[in-house]
Amino acid sequence: MTDRYCVFGNPIGHSKSPAIHAAFAAATGQDLTYEARLAPVDQADGFAEAVAAFIAEGGRGANVTVPFKEDAFRLASGPGNRLTPRARLAGAVNTLVFGSDGILGDNTDGVGLVRDLTDFLGVSLAGKRILLLGAGGAARGALGPLLDAAPAHLTIANRTVARAEELAALVVASHPAAAVDACSFAALAGRQYDVVINATSASLQGEPVPLPAGLYAPGAAAYDMMYGSETPFLAQARRLGASVLADGLGMLVEQAAEAFALWRGVRPDTAAVRRLLRPA
């Protein structure tokens, strides 16, 4: 019997996930279907009910995108369900596994980011100075895997400093040996970083993050978690002297591959899917 998977979101029609997972299934010989499903945002338990309906239809697993990652976290935190350590640290879930022992919630975003940076862009993170812009869900999902890569130092910068400080304190509790600090965007003046990652929504709003000149060290990389044509953040990074510029399309593919491996026990080769998506 063909196994069923899906991605929940609202809106969801733009999602590339069905095409990505269809390509993974074809390449690995896995018998499955993958669809995009719209979950309601105007009902208190709309997401949980949508998940329950999909499980009743035979669903084996699901991806979760905006705006339901925190809803998925709460669902997987409930009685009889469980979270992976990286999902617990992130406070958000983007991958669900449905089994006889309940629902498992995971977060594959950070792993996808690190794999894209290191394996495909050739950006080393070990011993480097990393700047993470933003303190929302996207930043939280990235922090654990970034710190696991053993950077020399990681700074979290955010418009609201208190949120950055709260996130830094949370990370220190889980990675006590890590060198982590938090600051405002203005406080970045005079600092230099080897890797700068944009986890804010600024690119969606068509504006760059207010960053000072001199922020990028020689040979530094700028990475925007948003994907598409050159984003305002990447255009700004080019002007400020970043040497490596990348959007988040590779992260999208790599986090999907991590989810696919969690569901099917086989890791797909992502190079062909990257080539398929990049022209678009």
Span 131-147, pLDDT tens digits: 999 998 889 999 999 99
- 259 known member of a binding site: no
Put residue 84 in one of left, alpha, beta given phi > 0 → left and psi -120 to 50 → alpha: beta
- 29 known member of a binding site: no
Residue 280 predicted with pLDDT over 60: no
pLDDT of 11: 92
Of the pLDDT bands very low, low, confident and very high (cuts 50, 70, 90), residue 2 is: very high
Span 175-222, pLDDT tens digits: 999 999 999 999 999 999 999 999 998 887 888 899 999 999 999 999
Distance CA(257)–CA(269), nearest Å, equals: 8
Of the pLDDT bands very low, low, confident and very high (cuts 50, 70, 90), residue 112 is: very high
Q: Exactly one of 4, 69, 129, 264 is catalytic; which is it? A: 69
Q: Can you tell me whether residue 125 is helix, strand or coil?
A: coil
- 148 known member of a binding site: no
- 163 known member of a binding site: yes
The pLDDT mean for the chain works out to: 95
Of the pLDDT bands very low, low, confident and very high (cuts 50, 70, 90), residue 172 is: confident
Q: What is the pTM of this model?
A: 0.93
- 184 known member of a binding site: no
Average pLDDT, stretch 269-277? 92
Going by C-beta distance under 8 Å and a sequence separation of 6 or more, which residues neighbour residue 6? 34, 35, 36, 37, 54, 59, 62, 63
CATH H superfamily, domain 110-247: NAD(P)-binding Rossmann-like Domain (3.40.50.720)
Angle (deg, nearest 10), helices 69-76 and 46-56: 70
Which residue ranges make up each domain of the chain? 3-107+251-277, 110-247
Is there a shared CATH topology between the 3-107+251-277 domain and the 110-247 domain? Answer: yes
Name the maximum alpha-carbon separation found in the chain.
60
- The yes-or-no answer on residue 128 being catalytic is no
Residue 229 predicted with pLDDT over 90: no
CATH H superfamily, domain 3-107+251-277: Leucine Dehydrogenase, chain A, domain 1 (3.40.50.10860)
Helix and strand totals (H; E) in the chain = 10, 12
Span 30-78, pLDDT tens digits: 999 999 999 999 988 999 999 999 999 999 999 999 899 999 999 999 9
Q: Quote the tokens at residue 30.
A: 């896995």
- 52 known member of a binding site: no
- 128 known member of a binding site: no
- 203 known member of a binding site: no
pLDDT of 171: 87
- 81 known member of a binding site: no
Put residue 58 in one of left, alpha, beta given phi > 0 → left and psi -120 to 50 → alpha: left
Residue 234 predicted with pLDDT over 80: yes
**% of the chain surpassing 70 pLDDT:** 100
**% of the chain surpassing 90 pLDDT:** 87
